[in-house]
């Protein structure tokens, strides 16, 4: 999808770029972090997604003559600046966690090191991409975990907030663990398996429900799924489905992949009764699919109530992340570079949560007994000796300490661009999905709770903590 999204930016990115150009600051090497402050739905972690689209954006980041003509028409941009834009490209470095990585509040999930104009200009696209796809991947992962191994299909295109939200939302949902999507173009573009059978209108088109079902099964004898709630699930839908399956396949339905879908009503009662009817007819291999405004809480409750459902279709509440529709990642300056020396910068706020962590940083994930227990943030030039005991402390409660002796550490931020050149190869999307599942499995069950999850610690090295405290001591707008 090579689209020129160069002007998909906030206008102030352009006014600042023009100002940097005129003030001589355009080449000041700057460091920006992307991080978020709160996990959607009050969960224990989020899932990072969207890196592949960011890479495509950076590779196609050029101003066309039409773009420059438009900017000239605004009457506020210097002509020298507009001429400069003709050769504008990204020449910096970018570091990111891989897509599918579980991530936590207040830690860098992406860092840009580049001349000020370049680094500042990319803010909008980087945020909108990470915010949207990480939001949907996070929601999808919650839904998938609620289903306890039962497949989830993403059904939300028609409720999505526009075409891109549908297409990239399906991609993100697949990363989060969904088995497939109803969005056909996401299959063609990304290989997200697309599937679907019929709507209620198919059943209504025929003179009887039986005729609709038998016609469909003759057209699609492999893996037929019949929608049984157009009229009455138990009085007509399931009996007609049984009749058709028997006529088409006899008593040997186990290998046919036949199934029914229920899209309304009391899904626990209807699925349980339908299961009894199917089994009583000898159709023990027939699966039951459920849909109808589902989310992780409804799915969890259905299964706790004994619903006999083999897979779920989840639409609007997934593709819009209806319960928490904003991810909230931000893009903040954390350092500048002068004469090769990295100088930390901090943003101070009356709201303590908005105070940033300064400096160019590295992030390590600490594992104990193969499970993640904390993320450790240090300054870029620190070289922690992870062969020795590690003293972790909560930066908000420095007296809360934990000494680790048997542990491993993995660096999370990996190079994506160096000197403007791509040095990373995006893995196949199926591999991203598998990586996400494996990394989520490395989180403790306490962190995966939907309500009141364990507070996973994101700790600062003592050196970084002291840098932050020193800058805070200088006061608002501190510069050292």
Domain ranges of the chain: 11-136+325-474, 163-310
Look at residue 2 in the predicted model and tell me its pLDDT: 54
Q: What are the residues whose beta carbons fall under 8 Å from the beta carbon of 199, sequence distance 6 or more?
A: 227
Residue-level length of the chain: 480
Look at residue 480 in the predicted model and tell me its pLDDT: 44
Q: Over the chain, what HEC string results?
A: CCCCCCCCCCHHHHHHHHHHHHHCCCCCEEEEEEECCCCHHHCCCEECCCHHHHHHHHHCCCCCHHHHHHHHHCCCCCHHHHHHHCCCCCCCEEEECCCCCEECCCCCCEEEEEEHHHHHHCHHHHHHHHHHHHHHHHHHHHHHHHCCCCCEEECCHHHCCCHHHHHHHHHHHHHHCCCEECCHHHHHHHCCCECCCCCHHHHHHCCCHHHHHHHHHHHCCCCCEEECCCCCHHHHHHHHHHHHHHHHHCCCCCCCCCEEEECCCCHHHHHHHHHHHHHHCCCCCCEEEECCCCCHHHHHHHHHCCCCCCEEEECHHHHCCCCCCCCCCEEEEEEEEECCEEEEECCCCCCHHHCCCCCCEEEEEEEECCEEEEEEEEECCCCCCCCCCEEEEECCEEEEEEEECCCEEEECCEEEEECCEECCCCCCHHHHHHHHHHHHHCECCCCCCCCCCCCCEEEECHHHHHHHHHHHHHCCCCEC
> Can you tell me the distance from the alpha carbon of 354 to that of 364, in angstroms, rounded to the nearest whole number?
23
Look at residue 392 in the predicted model and tell me its pLDDT: 78
Roughly how many angstroms between the first and final C-alpha of the chain, as a whole number?
A: 44
Answer yes or no: same fold for 11-136+325-474 and 163-310: no
Name the fold adopted by 11-136+325-474.
nicotinate phosphoribosyltransferase (3.20.140)
Tokens 């299964």 belong to 303
Superfamily in which the 163-310 domain is placed by CATH? Aldolase class I (3.20.20.70)
Predicted TM-score (pTM) of this structure: 0.95
Going from the C-alpha of 80 to that of each of 15, 24, 71, 214, 333, the distances in angstroms are: 14, 12, 12, 71, 26
Q: Beta strand 311-314 with 287-290: parallel, antiparallel or unpaired? A: parallel
Look at residue 478 in the predicted model and tell me its pLDDT: 45
Per-residue pLDDT in tens (0 to 9) along the chain, 480 residues: 456 899 999 999 999 999 999 999 999 999 999 999 999 999 999 999 999 999 999 999 999 999 999 999 999 999 999 999 999 999 999 999 999 999 999 999 999 999 999 999 999 999 999 999 999 999 999 999 999 999 999 999 999 999 999 999 999 999 999 999 999 999 999 999 999 999 999 999 999 999 999 999 999 999 999 999 999 999 999 999 999 999 998 876 666 789 999 999 999 999 999 999 999 999 999 999 999 999 999 999 999 999 999 999 999 999 999 999 999 999 999 999 999 999 999 999 889 899 999 999 999 999 998 999 999 999 999 999 888 888 776 666 555 677 788 899 999 999 999 999 999 999 999 999 999 999 999 999 999 999 999 999 999 999 999 999 999 998 754 444
């Amino acid at each position: 999808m090579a689209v020129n999204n160069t002007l998909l930016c906030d206008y102030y990115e352009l006014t600042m770029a023009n100002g940097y150009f005129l003030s001589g600051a355009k080449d000041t090497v700057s460091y920006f972090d992307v991080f978020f402050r709160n996990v959607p739905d009050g969960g224990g972690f989020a899932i990072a997604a969207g890196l592949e689209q960011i890479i495509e954006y950076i590779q196609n980041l050029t101003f066309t003559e039409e773009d420059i003509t438009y900017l000239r028409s605004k009457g506020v941009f210097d002509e020298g600046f507009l001429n400069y834009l003709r050769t504008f490209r990204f020449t910096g470095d970018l570091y990111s966690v891989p897509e599918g990585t579980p991530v936590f509040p207040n830690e860098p999930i992406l860092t840009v090191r580049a001349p000020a104009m370049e680094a500042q200009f990319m803010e909008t696209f980087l945020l909108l991409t990470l915010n949207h796809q990480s939001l949907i991947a996070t929601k999808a992962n919650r839904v998938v975990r609620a289903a306890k191994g039962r497949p989830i299909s993403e059904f939300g295109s028609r409720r999505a907030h526009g075409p891109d939200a549908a297409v990239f939302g399906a991609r993100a949902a697949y990363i989060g663990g969904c088995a497939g999507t109803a969005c056909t173009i996401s299959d063609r573009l990304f290989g997200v398996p697309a599937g679907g059978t019929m709507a209620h209108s198919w059943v209504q088109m025929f003179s009887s429900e039986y005729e609709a079902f038998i016609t469909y099964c003759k057209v699609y004898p492999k893996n037929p799924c019949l929608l049984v709630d157009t009229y009455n699930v138990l009085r007509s839908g399931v009996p007609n489905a049984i009749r058709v399956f028997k006529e088409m396949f006899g008593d040997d339905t186990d290998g046919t992949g036949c199934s029914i879908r229920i899209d309304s009503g009391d899904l626990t009662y209807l699925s349980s009764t339908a299961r009894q009817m199917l089994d009583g007819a000898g159709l023990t291999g027939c699966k039951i699919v459920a849909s109808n405004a589902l989310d992780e809480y409804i799915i969890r409750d259905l299964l706790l109530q004994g619903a006999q459902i083999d897979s779920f279709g989840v639409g609007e509440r997934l593709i819009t992340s209806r319960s928490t529709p904003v991810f909230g990642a931000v893009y903040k300056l954390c350092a500048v570079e002068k004469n090769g020396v990295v100088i930390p910068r901090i943003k101070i706020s009356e709201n303590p949560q908005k105070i940033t962590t300064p400096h160019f940083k590295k992030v390590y994930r600490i594992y104990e007994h193969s499970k993640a227990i904390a993320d450790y943030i240090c300054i870029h030039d620190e070289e922690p000796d992870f062969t020795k005991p590690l003293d972790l402390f909560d930066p908000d409660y420095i007296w809360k300490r934990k000494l680790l002796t048997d542990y491993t550490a993995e660096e999370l931020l990996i190079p994506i661009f160096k000197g403007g050149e791509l040095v990373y190869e995006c893995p196949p999307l199926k591999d991203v999905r598998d990586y996400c599942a494996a990394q989520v499995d490395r989180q403790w069950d306490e962190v995966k709770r939907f309500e009141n999850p364990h507070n996973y610690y994101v700790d600062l090295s003592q050196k970084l903590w002291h840098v932050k405290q020193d800058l805070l001591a200088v006061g608002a707008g501190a510069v050292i």
